């Protein structure tokens, strides 16, 4: 299958590995949120340790490659909806507040599990106030906020399997069903995204529209990245969606890992015209791949 590989892997990969000396992150570190603020890269990353419960750690970097991390997690499970872990964070800053979307992996009725799309906010990226869910009682994840309000409202991408959906809210507390709509779904004619699709990091605002990186899986559950362009004034409209993927597993730690053939991204901050795509490889370590924003936009417009 043709993969253009528009993203260039950093030679220092993997840039973050499990810490065998830490009980809470000795097995896996993956699927991080990263935001560039105050001249630094700030990372919230998913970690699993001796009990296999996911927690979120914090790390900081001057160059986006070499990281200093705190010794203890900054966000840990709370309540039934998070009993088995907090997963796959994504970060935006709106005004003077950081907003995190994350998945709660919890316990449902006897013998069942729950997957919940949840929100939290912070002023310092270390202490967090939980806000609540986008929806209740359904398998819904891969949710991420747009990095600014649109028409004065919060807008979120989320996934109702197997499609990407769009939702609107005035306050992050109330998400009305009648204001949710499907955005795009798998394309059977494209084997790499024929099974399911979901959002990656926050959409990137450009003059041409919202540049969105997303992931798709095939029938063998191999993950690849694609891009699409959404209308700037109305993100419910898909302007362009190239058929070719731009990134696929190829390194040993992406192809094998704890879960094979997985590259999964929750972060794509733009710094000095470069898109930094942070991703989990094989659900085990964290990698970095980059591209010029102009190059990704040219590809999106030409697709």
In a domain, 16, yes or no: yes
**Mean pLDDT of the region 153-167:** 97
In a domain, 243, yes or no: yes
What number of other Cβ atoms are within 10 A of residue 235's Cβ?
Answer: 20
Q: Which band of pLDDT confidence, cut at 50, 70 and 90, is reported for residue 112?
A: low
Please give the mean pLDDT across all residues of the chain: 96
Residue 46 and residue 27 in contact, taking contact as beta carbons nearer than 8 Å: no
Tens-place pLDDT, residues 26-81: 999 999 999 999 999 999 999 999 999 999 999 999 999 999 999 999 999 999 99
The predicted model scores a pTM of 0.97
Number of structural domains the chain divides into: 1
Q: Tokens 């970095």 appear where?
A: 288
Q: What is the pLDDT of residue 113?
A: 74
Residue 199 and residue 214 in contact, taking contact as beta carbons nearer than 8 Å: yes
Q: pLDDT > 70: what percent of the chain?
A: 97
Tens-place pLDDT, residues 180-199: 999 999 999 999 999 999 99
Domain hosting residue 37, numbered range: 8-302
Tens-place pLDDT, residues 208-232: 999 999 999 999 999 999 999 999 9
Q: How far apart are CA 157 and CA 80, in angstroms?
A: 24
Q: Which band of pLDDT confidence, cut at 50, 70 and 90, is reported for residue 141?
A: very high
In a domain, 183, yes or no: yes
Q: How far apart are CA 46 and CA 105, in angstroms?
A: 13
Torsion angles phi and psi, residue 191, rounded to 5:
-55, -35
Q: Which band of pLDDT confidence, cut at 50, 70 and 90, is reported for residue 110?
A: low
In a domain, 25, yes or no: yes
In a domain, 111, yes or no: yes
- Annotate the chain with three-state secondary structure: CCCCCCCEECCCCCCECCCCCCCCCCCEEEEEEEEEECCEEEEEEEEECCCCCEEEEEEEECCCCCCEECCCCCECCCCHHHCCEEEEEEEEEECCEEEEEEEEEEECCCCCEEEEEEEEEECCCCCCEEEEECCCCCCEEEEEECCCCECCEEEEEEEECCEEEEEEECCCCCCCHHHCEEEECCCCCCHHHCCEEEECCCCEEECCEEEEEEEEECCCCCEEEEEEEECCCCCCCEEECCCCCCECCCCHHHHCCCCCCCEEEEECCEECCEEEEEEEECCCEEEEEEEEHHHHHHHHHHC
In a domain, 2, yes or no: no
Q: Which band of pLDDT confidence, cut at 50, 70 and 90, is reported for residue 265?
A: very high
What number of other Cβ atoms are within 10 A of residue 176's Cβ?
Answer: 10
In a domain, 1, yes or no: no
Q: Which of 50, 46, 58 is nearest to 82 (CA)?
A: 46
Residue 27 and residue 76 in contact, taking contact as beta carbons nearer than 8 Å: no
Q: Which two structure tokens, joined as six digits, stand for 114?
A: 């729950």
Instruction: Residue 92: give its domain's CATH number.
Output: 2.115.10.20
In a domain, 3, yes or no: no
């Amino acid at each position: 299958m043709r993969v253009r590989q528009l993203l260039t892997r950093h030679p220092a990969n993997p840039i973050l590995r499990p810490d065998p000396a830490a009980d809470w992150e000795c097995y896996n570190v993956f699927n991080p949120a990263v935001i560039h603020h105050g001249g630094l890269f700030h990372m919230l990353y998913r970690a699993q340790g001796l009990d296999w419960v996911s927690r979120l750690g914090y790390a900081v970097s001057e160059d986006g490659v070499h990281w200093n991390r705190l010794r203890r997690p900054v966000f840990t499970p709370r309540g039934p909806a998070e009993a088995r872990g907090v997963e796959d964070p994504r970060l935006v800053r709106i005004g003077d507040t950081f907003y995190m979307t994350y998945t709660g992996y919890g316990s449902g009725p006897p013998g069942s599990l729950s997957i919940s799309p949840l929100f939290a906010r912070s002023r310092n990226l270390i202490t967090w106030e939980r806000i609540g869910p986008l929806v209740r009682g359904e398998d819904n994840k891969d949710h991420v906020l747009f990095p600014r309000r649109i028409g004065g409202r919060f807008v979120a991408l989320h996934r109702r399997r197997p499609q990407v959906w769009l939702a609107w809210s005035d306050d992050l507390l109330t998400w009305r069903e009648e204001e949710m709509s499907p955005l795009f779904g798998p394309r059977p004619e494209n084997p790499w995204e024929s099974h399911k699709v979901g959002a990656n990091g926050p959409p990137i605002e450009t003059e041409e529209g919202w540049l969105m990186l997303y992931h798709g899986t095939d029938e063998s559950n191999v993950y690849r990245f694609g891009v699409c362009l959404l209308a700037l004034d109305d993100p419910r409209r898909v302007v362009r969606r190239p058929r070719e993927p731009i990134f696929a597993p190829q390194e040993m730690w992406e192809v094998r890992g704890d879960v094979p053939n997985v590259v999964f991204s929750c972060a794509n901050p733009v710094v000095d015209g470069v898109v930094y795509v942070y991703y989990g490889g094989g659900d085990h370590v964290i990698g970095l791949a980059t591209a010029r924003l102009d190059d990704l936009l040219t590809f999106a417009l030409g697709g």
